[in-house]
Amino acid sequence: RACSLRPLAFLLVTLVLVLFGMGVLSPRILMLETRSEGEGQSPAEPLACRAVLFFRMLYPQPMVMTPSRKDVLVLTPWLAPIVWEGTFNIDILNEQFRLQNVTVGLTVFAIKRYVVFLKLFLETAEQHFMVGHRVHYYVFTDRPADVPSVALGEGRRLVVLEVPGAARWQDVSMRRMQMISDFCERRFQREVDFLICADADMRFSDHVGVEILSPLFGTLHPGFYRATRQAFTYERRPQSQAYIPRDQGDFYYMGALFGGSVAEVQRLTKACHQAMMADHANGIEAVWHDESHLNRYLLDHRPTKVLSPEYLWDEQLLGRPAVMRKLRFVAVPKNHQQIRN
């Protein structure tokens, strides 16, 4: 009788060892779980068994023979995408950047009376800018006491950086290149993965998300996206470091919205600042100040992504052409002379 029980006992022992091996040697098989952002677990803590959930994303299949847009250019000659509504799937992009665990910095300069634009800028950014991702707002101002208190979502913070004012708005515009470059080295490179540089007298009116992120991006100027290069208001004087001849140039980029990785933004802003200092030493100031130098830089170092005028628009001046399916970042109506005074 004992002999007849041996095979059964052997099978039972083998089964116990297999189950033990699955539970101890390969705990991930039974204990996969989804953790919320920032949640950690030390190796000494016991792991609890949970149901394994498989995430499935359903979306329309991209068709090789069907272009995303037929009415606009969606790819530059150097193969950088031009971002328009209808050219990207934000759900796929959000998942990709969520897995990368990115933090995005947004710089804005609010010098003197431009601080009045901050409340609307920040409130609309909370509604539309990088929703669902970590964001650091960096406000450069000479009036830190006037920076408004705005309710921020989880994972988002406001950092006020006090800087000196300037007599002319042109000086404020040009000096921001130096300040951004300095702070990239001093803190931005340790705190964020991407850095976006925007003007304060704007508001977000629709989604602006991770589809804009790239090592280096520029934004098409809304007044010149249909123009020929001869009509661009580049700096045309050969004496300036920003000089671009009339037979050169791809697009005209606006200085109100540019960005990229922290390393690339530091290279751009440092180069523009050095070029402006060289011009100053030669007694010349580029026609559109830092924007002129930005265009020279992006001609020599072509961006890896270009944002369409959807991302920088002035409906009061330009109306709303049919090609603009969404207006994402728009100018705030204002009296320029009153603000400058």
Would the annotation count 293 as a binding residue? no
pLDDT, tens only, 41-66? 444 445 455 555 556 788 889 999 99
291 annotated active-site = yes
Would the annotation count 250 as a binding residue? no
Give the sign of the dihedral formed by CA 173, CA 175, CA 179, CA 182: positive
Mean pLDDT of 29-37: 36
**Residue of 126, 291, 310, 315 marked active site:** 291
DSSP 8-class letter at 173: H
Q: Identify the residue with better confidence: 164 or 26.
A: 164
Residue 294, number of CB atoms within 10 A of its CB: 25
Would the annotation count 219 as a binding residue? no
> Above pLDDT 90, what percent of the chain?
75
pLDDT at 19: 52
Query: Which tokens in the block code for residue 133?
Result: 């991702």
Domain boundaries, the chain: 1-54, 82-340
Would the annotation count 339 as a binding residue? no
Would the annotation count 314 as a binding residue? yes
pLDDT at 86: 96
* Model pTM score: 0.82
Cβ 241 vs Cβ 293: under 8 Å: yes
User: What are the helix (H) ranges across the chain?
Assistant: 2-24, 28-31, 90-100, 118-128, 169-183, 189-191, 262-281, 289-300, 315-318, 336-340
Q: Could you tell me the pLDDT band of residue 4, with boundaries at 50, 70 and 90?
A: low
Task: Specify the CATH number of the domain 82-340.
Answer: 3.90.550.10
Q: Which pairing describes strands 202-204 and 329-331: parallel, antiparallel, or unpaired?
A: antiparallel
pLDDT, tens only, 105-159? 999 999 989 999 999 999 999 999 999 999 999 999 999 999 999 999 999 999 9
Q: How far apart are CA 81 and CA 30, in angstroms?
A: 42
First-to-final CA distance of the chain: 106
pLDDT, tens only, 156-194? 999 999 998 766 666 666 789 999 999 999 999 999 999
Q: How far apart are CA 191 and CA 18, in angstroms?
A: 47
Would the annotation count 97 as a binding residue? no
Q: Could you tell me the pLDDT band of residue 10, with boundaries at 50, 70 and 90?
A: low
Answer whether residue 36 shows pLDDT above 50. no
pLDDT at 57: 81
Q: Could you tell me the pLDDT band of residue 262, with boundaries at 50, 70 and 90?
A: very high
Q: Identify the residue with better confidence: 20 or 66.
A: 66
Would the annotation count 291 as a binding residue? yes
Would the annotation count 151 as a binding residue? no
Query: Which tokens in the block code for residue 315?
Result: 């409906």
pLDDT at 165: 72
pLDDT at 180: 97
Q: How far apart are CA 13 and CA 5, in angstroms?
A: 12
Q: Could you tell me the pLDDT band of residue 14, with boundaries at 50, 70 and 90?
A: low
